[in-house]
Structure 1
Amino acid sequence: MKKRPWPRLEPQARLCRARAANIVRVLSTVNTMMVGPMLMPIAVRAGLPVIGVAMAMNLFGHGIALSGDFVIQGAPKLTSSAAGVTVGQIIHASIPLVITTGVIATVFAFLKLRRDIAKGVLTTPKKMELKETIVASPAAKIAAVLVPLTFVGTIVTTITMGLKGDDATAFIGGVSLLLFVVIAFLEHRNQAHVAVMKHVQDGFTFSMKIFAPVIPIAGFFFMGSPDVAPQILGKGAPGYLFDLGKALAAHVPLSMVTVAIIVVLVGVIAGLDGSGFSGLVLVGTLAQALGTPVGANIAVLAALGQMGSVWSGGGTLVPWGVLDVAGVTGVNPEELTRRNFLPVICGLAGATVVAIFMM
């Protein structure tokens, strides 16, 4: 039997893709820290409770935007590599799933907020008071103009030049680092090198703490594929995960419905570590292992697993995944995840139904 090609699964490529996904998650956190303080006063003045602001940032930023990842395409690359399909197939399959999950989750959350406001459970502060007067330095004033303009130019360049995947990630990361260094020199002058090194150390410490599980988890689950296992364990190594899938198909009445439910549940469980991306390799490989025996659309099944993993661990369902939003808005992370739980679960349930019909 002819061996199926597996796109770019050498160790270096897998590590690059893992780093790309990590950078996407870090950039999402950075954007939260930058955009959150600017939107808070506007949202509160419009009548939205603080917990509602946090939910909106979670559901739209860490849910809808991060689960699809249509621009940088870090998440679809990891999923497609493990599932044995192209990035384009994953993106195409994930569009209706992202829309379904996002619409259900945000509408459900909005209606729940409206109900709690009407009952008096939630109150909206009439104004936000500053505890101390903040005087902006000249460097801060320059950065307030320079940073937005630079990132707008970055977005335009990324789209016009067609940068995707690792190229888009590297471009955005390089621009961010350059801005960081320039602003540090404007603010700290002769001590800029000290400030730069301190923040770089803090950033690497945060990244390793949050995203380190991606590498061992990726290596472990790649061993389950018959195409990749020989590259890791040696010639003739079996793909135990595929063998398990075939055994399940032979002894358990698997169907489109049961396979879809299994994959999305595994994605949600895999995302509980708080990174969101560490489960993508698992759900991609599992989608191919369980979807092949029942004749399911592997791309749709893998995209569904991606929804479960990213919505769960990307920063909506676990308290340690929403710390950036909770820190910006000042809400309790446990309360935030409790309010996110039902809307997100209903959204994922809706996406599962849609995926079943798509397969």
Structure 2
Amino acid sequence: MPQVPIVAAHWVYLLGVALIVLTMIWRANVVVPSVLATFLVALAWTHSPIAALGSIFNASFTAAKELFNIFLVIALMTALLNALKVLRSDIRMVEPFRTVMKDGHTAYFVLAGITYVISLFFWPTPAVPLVSAVLLPAAIAAGLPPLGGALAIAIAGQGMALSSDYVIGVAPGISAKAAGVAVSAAAVADRALVLSLITGSVALLLGYFAIRKFITKPDDGLLERWQAKSSNGELARIAQEGTFDKVELARGTAGDQTPLANQGQIDKALAAIPDAREKWSKIFAVVTPLAFLGVIVVMVLSKLGIGHDLKGGDAAALVGGVAAVLMIWASFVTDPLREFLDTSADHVTEGFIFAFKAMGSVLPIAGFFFLGAEQGLSAPILGVPAAQAPNLLFELVQAAQHWIPGNQVFVAFGVLIAGMITGIDGSGFAGLPLTGSLSGALAPTVGLDPATLAAVGQMGAVWTGGGTLVAWSSLIAVAGFARVPVFQIVQTVMVPVLAGLVTSTICAVLIWH
């Protein structure tokens, strides 16, 4: 392939990437730098101020068109959870697991397992308060120190579940789209799932050994002392230093979930359900997990060539469709017919509000990186025919190819570190357009699958900024519920998570080389 000459637009794009990364390191919001960089790149390429101004809108609009399915799935899953909360089915789903917490050792892994499953389907934002309110008090009474509970919840939810995002598909969708048209979100999701399980297993095991000596015998006095603690102003101060709404969203979920310290308090909360709803509360506590278990079975069988063939975004569509049907059904049995129609619409509206609060700021960022990702995406942003559109990042990598070591491990760790750097801002998802674009450009130079590199970069970005390695991320929520200093969590989880990321990156190269 003939080498394309590097022109001013390439250098402006490179400077834009550097500016965005530096802004992330400073933990400032990168939306404005992304918009400015988009304008300057378009101006350098088209030499038209009018076209450059239009590119600001076109970039976000293109990103919105490419990623709207993600917003829709988030909205429908959030709508379902809100409908379940009215019936208190969310509490019923996790409450039985209190009985298996016989000691602190068991409690650690039960907390991690339940947090992982709920976070996989509903994201950690609602999972953290639910698990913290219902299961964490029981775990502490069983002898698990609050720090151990915080580690289990953060690693399993903010780390393992969010970094693969296998069910809802936000992260793999963004990574795949930025990596190029030839990369499927399903391929990125499959690799990310494996890497997240490797990283999480290593981190959970090392985290367990870090707090094992602090596990004591079951004692209700432990719970009383924990309840006597109160969060100081540290969490509020750190939250103000963060940049993305996700932090405040995560902390804000504390408002309607107070710790249920014993079975009596849980029974009291469930007894408050009107008699007409109690039967349905129990039904949905069983039907909901079974329905999504069925979705997982269909997805797995599809990959084995059995049953319905799920292509492209079919898996996300199936998840969203199941969520919508369950939400409508839950609303129907909760309210009279006329109110049910309004309630269902309200749940959907609230779901979209949450989706855009959590992910809306990603659109201008993704728009800028789509501008450099491939011709099919840069053409509508610049307003030029596809044949005249550039592939800026690929062309930059092609020009610098002789400087890039032809070593798969080196490139994989380079993308991992790039992802970790972008995660410093405390978001996790904001860096995915960059790691995806880098993966699409660098993978051919070393003979790696772009989906593999994109999954590696996703691990670095989400494990760092999603809520395990930086204190100003949604880890604040975990610290607040567990009543543990947030920096103590970071210090304890740092080595286990880094060891997990190194292990999973090496495995990625060995498995998919």
2:320 aligned residue (165, 170, 179): 170
Q: Is the 8 A contact 1:248 1:254 kept in 2?
A: no
- Shift of residue 170 of structure 1? 1.9
Q: Name the counterpart of 1:347.
A: 500
SS in 2 for 1:253: coil
3-state SS of 1:126 partner? helix
The DSSP-based 3-state class of the residue aligned with 1:14 is: helix
Q: Distance in 2 between matches of 1:21 and 1:200?
A: 11
- Equivalent residues of 2:202, 2:499 under 8 A apart: yes
Counterpart of 1:36 (choices 132, 149, 154) is: 132
Residue identity opposite 1:281 in structure 2: P
* Equivalent in the alignment of 1:214: 362
How many residues align? The count is 346
Confirm or deny: 8 A CA contact 1:214 1:278 kept in the other structure: yes
Q: In the alignment, which residue of structure 2 is the partner of 1:4?
A: none
Q: CA-to-partner distance for each residue in 1:184-205, whole Å, 9 max, x for gaps?
A: 749xx99999999998887666
Distance 1:313 1:38 in 2: 26
1:113 deviates by 0.8
Structure 1 SS opposite 2:167: coil
Match in the other structure for 1:158: 295
Gaps spanning 5+ residues in structure 1: where? 2-8
| Counterpart contact for 2:426–2:467, Cα < 8 Å | yes
Residue among 49, 55, 67 paired with 1:15: 67
Question: Any conservation in 2 of the 1:21–1:277 contact (CA below 8 Å)?
Answer: no
Residue number in structure 2 paired with 1:70: 166
Q: Distance in 2 between matches of 1:193 and 1:92?
A: 38
Determine the structure 1 residue equivalent to 2:206: 108
What is the alpha-carbon distance in structure 2 between the residues aligned to residue 144 and residue 115 of structure 1?
40
| Aligned counterpart, 1:6 | none
> Mapping of 1:233-312 within 5 angstroms?
233=382, 234-235=384-385, 236-312=388-464
Q: Does the CA contact (< 8 Å) of 2:74 and 2:351 recur in 1?
A: no
1:181-225 deviations in Å (ceiling 9; x for gaps): 468749xx9999999999888766654443222111111111112
Which residues of 2 match residues 38-187 of structure 1 at below 5 A? 38-83=134-179, 84-115=182-213, 126-128=222-224, 136-139=271-274, 145-159=282-296, 162=299, 164-171=314-321, 173-174=323-324, 177-178=327-328, 181=331, 185=335
Classify 1:277/1:46 alpha carbon distance in 2 versus 1 (closer, same or farther; 3 Å).
same
- CA 1:340–1:207 in structure 2 vs 1: closer, same or farther (change >3 Å)? farther
What whole-Å deviation, never above 9, does each CA across 1:114-156 have from its counterpart, x for those lacking one?
Answer: 24559xxxx9953346699766412485675244224224314
TM normalised by structure 2 equals 0.58
TM-score by length of 1: 0.79
Q: 1:333 to 1:278 in 2, by over 3 A?
A: same
Structure 2: runs of 5+ lacking an equivalent = 2-60, 78-118, 228-260, 300-309
Q: Distance in 2 between matches of 1:69 and 1:222?
A: 21
Tell me the SS of whatever aligns to 2:223: coil
Deviation at 1:287, TM superposition (A): 0.6
Q: For 1:338, what is the secondary structure of its paired residue?
A: helix
- Give the number of the structure whose alpha-carbon radius of gyration is greater: 2
**Is residue 332–residue 340 contact of structure 2 (8 Å, CA) maintained in 1?**
no
Return the offset for 1:343.
1.5
CA change 1:27–1:71 in 2 (3 A) is closer
Residues 49 and 108 of structure 1, relative CA distance in 2, 3 Å threshold: same
Q: CA–CA distance in 2 between the matches of 1:329 and 1:143?
A: 31
**Matching residue of 2:474:** 321
Task: Give, in whole Å, the separation in 2 of the partners of 1:210 and 1:80.
Answer: 20
Stretch deviating more after TM superposition (57-66 or 101-110)? 57-66
The whole-number CA distance in structure 2 between the counterparts of 1:225 and 1:261 is 21
Determine the C-alpha separation between the residues in 2 that align with 1:172 and 1:10: 27
Query: Which piece of structure 1 moves more, 138-147 or 227-236?
Result: 138-147
**Is residue 381 of structure 2 the alignment partner of residue 232 of structure 1?**
yes
| C-alpha deviation, 1:39, in angstroms | 1.4
Q: Residue deviations 1:298-345, cap 9 Å, x none?
A: 222111111112212222223332233334333333333332222111
Q: Supply the distance in 2 between the matched residues of 1:51 and 1:183 (Cα, whole angstroms).
A: 40
The CA distance in 2 between the partners of 1:193 and 1:87, in whole Å, is 34
- Distance of 1:272 and 1:10 partners within structure 2: 26
What amino acid is aligned across from residue 148 of structure 2 in structure 1?
G
Q: In 1, Cα distance between the equivalents of 2:221 and 2:496?
A: 24
Q: Would the alpha carbon gap of residues 230 and 198 (structure 1) be closer, same or farther in structure 2, given more than 3 Å must change?
A: closer
CA 1:18 to 1:159, structure 2 compared with 1: closer, same or farther past 3 Å?
Answer: closer
Further displaced range: 194-203 or 331-340? 194-203
Structure 2 equivalent of residue 5 of structure 1: none
